[in-house]
Amino acid sequence: MKRLAAIIAAVLIVCMGWWLFAPSSQPIPAKSGASGQTTKVVPEVVLSPPNPGASSSAGASPSPGERLSFAERMVNAFSTPITFYGRVLDQHGAPVVGAVVRGSAAVSMGGNSTKVTTTTDAAGHFTLRSKGMSFFVTVDKPGYYHIYPGKMPGLVSEKGFDYAEDLGRGIHKPDASKPVILHLFKPGTIEPLTRIKSTSHRLSRTGKAVEIELDKGAHRISLACTTEDEVTPDGRFSWSFEVKVIQGGLQPAGETFQFEAPETGYKETDVIDMNDSLPRPQWADSVRRSYFVRFNDNTFARIKVEMIAFGDFFTVIEGYYNPKSGSRNLAADPSQR
């Protein structure tokens, strides 16, 4: 009997302890202040920062980088120190002295940038410093041509570099012993040229030619366009464009920086045929062509011609003509281009 009473007493003590110390599932009661007003007691809430990259093991703590907010990471990225070592050479590998170098550092998501400028020394070297996520460098000098990307194989006058985040170009590692090489194109002897300013001319669709004077003399070219009425379901139609030199010949001009016209290899006419049987993108409703032109009086020109075979059907022509007989030099003054 005594043993049973002891067991019952022990059970009652355990139940009482659980009731006193276990967390309550009921709402926390309001507290009465000194003034008699009741104040709602709100339990303290502890917020943990998101940790998407944390290990799946229990108890893993976030790394310092993971604890940074997106905004903080961006601030840090746009504050990355930038040091850039470069050198400017011409197309032959000679240093360009006194070239103007401009750097632009990206400092915000909105496209804002910090500009820095310097000039090259006697060996073509330069150093730029700034802060930002990425850095764009461009070089120029009066009397030289700026080489845009894709205009001359392997040579450029401008380039972008990543410093804080790899945006597809790799993180740039500056090295004073291995400066980045940028190039400018140095033309040969500059002769007085007649500039053929960009002008547009409407063309008939029936093949009627339009003659255009390249200068005030008898140096002319003829342009003509013909089209067919039939149109495929996807909008293609047959058309052709003829470029003809009156009293002379032409041939395709290759590289952008090829300034000396060839001595031979000219023909009177070039015809571009756009048959509707050609698939896209081989078929197009506009074309651009560059030509060297030689006239029978042994003068030369370089022209660019564009034909737009829709809307008003018009052509645009521009270029340079050298009036000096026998000279194949078509290098224009870079400041006048």
- Is 80 exceeded by the pLDDT of residue 68? no
Helix (H, G, I), strand (E, B) or coil at 52: coil
- Is 80 exceeded by the pLDDT of residue 121? yes
- The architecture CATH gives domain 72-185: Sandwich (2.60)
Distance CA 52, CA 54 (A): 6
Q: What is the pLDDT of residue 337?
A: 66
Mean pLDDT for 249-263 is 91
Q: What is the pLDDT of residue 273?
A: 96
- Is 70 exceeded by the pLDDT of residue 52? no
User: What are the domain boundaries of the chain?
Assistant: 72-185, 194-336
Q: What pLDDT band is residue 231 in, cutting at 50, 70 and 90?
A: very high
60 DSSP 8-state letter: P
Q: Which amino acid is at 123?
A: A
Whether the CB-CB separation of 293 and 267 falls below 8 Å is answered with: no
Distance CA 107, CA 330 (A): 43
Tens-place pLDDT, residues 79-119: 999 999 999 999 999 999 999 999 999 998 888 899 999 99
Query: What is the pTM for the complete model shown?
Result: 0.68
The mean pLDDT value of the chain amounts to 84
Mean pLDDT for 154-178 is 95
Distance CA 248, CA 295 (A): 4
Mean pLDDT for 141-169 is 94
